[in-house]
Amino acid sequence: MTSEQTPPLVEMRDISVAFGGVHAVERATVTLKAGEVVGLVGGNGAGKSTLMRVLSGAHPPDSGEILIDGEKVTIANPRDAKVLKIETIYQTLALADNIDAPANLFLGRELVSQSGMLDDSAMEDATRKVMGRLNPNFKRFKVPVRTLSGGQRQAVAIARAVYFNARILIMDEPTAALGPAETAQVRDLIRQLRSEGLGIFLVSHDIHDVFDLADRISVMYHGRIVDTVGKSDTSIDDVLAMIILGKPPGEASKEELKPLIG
C-alpha cells in the first residue's frame, strides 16, 4: 500500500495516547484511502475509539503524526478536524438533548443571515432535505432531540456527519442502537458514501458488519495494532483469533487456536 504513487487519504503514524500510566493507544499506525472502508475491530478497551478520537480532534495524541493527502497536519481540537473535512459519528452520538434536530445538525456551524442572526428557517429547510434522504419518516424538526427515538437520534447524528461534504468519515458503532431495518439503511448509506469517494473508518463490535462493509480490517489489542489485513485475504475466524489472542494467525500456536476454532 505504501508503495502506491498517490499518498493515502489518511495516514496515522505511530500514534500513542496514555491516560495516566495506562497506554490506551501505543504506536498505532493505520491508513485509509479515498473510496475505502477500513474496519477497526478489537475487544473492549482495545483502543479503537481512542484512536478515532485522536483523528476527530477530541483527544490530541501524546506522540505520533497524522498525514492527510501525504501532508502532516495538526489536529488539536474538533474544529481543526472539521476544517480538514473529517466528520465523526460518535458512539454516544454527541447530541445536545435540549435543542432540536436542526440546531444539533448545525451545532458549531450555524447558518446566519447577513446581520449575524441565526437563520433557523434555512437550517430547518436543509435538515428537512438531508433527513428526507436518511429517514423519510422523520417529521419532528421542532422538538428537543431528547424526545426522539434511538433510531431518530442516530439519524440526526449521521445527518450531521454527511451534510457537510466530509472526505473522511469516522463511524464509531453506528448501528449499535438500531433495529434491523435501520441497520440495513445505514449499511446502504455506507456503501453509497464509499462509492462517492469518501474514506470511512468503521469501528464496530459486530464482526459480520465489518466483514460485510470493510475493504480492509485493522485489529487492535491492548492499544496496539495487531495487523491490518485485506478482507479477501482473511477469514472471520482469523480475525476473531487476532481479536482474542492479540497475535497474527501465523504467530499463534496450535494450542492457543484450538479452543477458538474448536
Partner 1 sequence: MRERVVITGTGAVSGAGRDPASMLGAILEGRSAIRAIEGWDTTGWPVTHAAEIPAFNARALVDDRKLHKFIRRTDLVGIYAGDRAAEAAGYAAHRESLSPEASAQFADRTGIYVGSGGGAFENQYDYFPLMSEAHGDLVKFGSDLADTVNPMWLLRTLPNNVLCHVGIRNRLKGTNACITNHSVGGTLAVIEALEALRTGEADRALAIGHDTPIEPQNVLYYHECGLLGANRLRPFDASRSGSLFGEGAGAFALETQTAARERRAPVVGSTRWASSRAPATMSSSGASTTTGAISRRIRRTSTSARTASTRARAVAARDSPARTAFTASSRTSRLARNRLGSVTMSPIAVTIGVDTAYGWLLALAIGLALGVLIGALQGFIIAYIGIPSFVVTLGGLLIFRGMVWVISGGATQAPNDKQFGVMAGGPEGSLGGPLSWALGIVFCVAIVLLLVYARRQRRRFNFPVRPIWAEIVIGVIGCAVTLAAVFVANSYKWPQGLVDRHLAEDPGFHVPPGGLDSGIPWPIVMLLAVTVLMTILATRRRFGRYVFAIGGNPEAAELGGINTRWTVMKTYILMGVLCAISAAITSARLNGASNDVGEGYELYVIAAAVIGGTSFAGGIGTISGAVLGAMVMYTLKYGLSFIGLESPIQDIVAGIVLIIAVGFDTLNRRRVR
Mark residues 148-187: x for contact with partner 1 by CB under 8 A, - for none: ----------------------------------------
The site that binds partner 1 (CB under 8 A) totals a number of residues, namely 34
Single out the residue of 20, 116, 180, 259 in contact with partner 1 (rule: CB under 8 A): 116
From 10-18, 31-39, 98-106, 240-248, span contacting partner 1 (CB under 8 A): 98-106
Beta strands 168-172 and 86-89, pairing class: parallel
Single out the residue of 88, 175, 204, 218 in contact with partner 1 (rule: CB under 8 A): 88
Single out the residue of 63, 74, 121, 235 in contact with partner 1 (rule: CB under 8 A): 121
> How far apart (Å, rounded) are the C-alpha atoms in residues 72 and 102?
34
Bridge partners (DSSP) listed for residue 23: 18
C-alpha cell at 132: 428526507
Bridge partners (DSSP) listed for residue 205: none
Single out the residue of 22, 65, 74, 77 in contact with partner 1 (rule: CB under 8 A): 77
> How far apart (Å, rounded) are the C-alpha atoms in residues 26 and 88?
22
Residue 96 in the binding site for partner 1 (CB under 8 A)? yes
Task: Find the Cα–Cα–Cα–Cα dihedral 176, 181, 186, 189, rounded to 10°.
Answer: 180
The length of the chain, given as a count of residues: 262
Single out the residue of 7, 35, 45, 78 in contact with partner 1 (rule: CB under 8 A): 78
| Residue 178 Cα distances to 46, 173, 182, angstroms | 23, 10, 6
The least CB distance from residue 112 to partner 1, in Å, is 7
Residue 192 in the binding site for partner 1 (CB under 8 A)? no
C-alpha cell at 81: 478536524
Give 126 or 240: the residue with its C-beta nearer to partner 1.
126
> How far apart (Å, rounded) are the C-alpha atoms in residues 167 and 209?
22
> How far apart (Å, rounded) are the C-alpha atoms in residues 127 and 152?
13
Q: For binding to partner 1 (CB under 8 A), which residues are involved?
A: 56, 58, 77-79, 82, 88, 90, 92-99, 103-104, 107-110, 112, 116-118, 120-122, 124-125, 128, 146-147
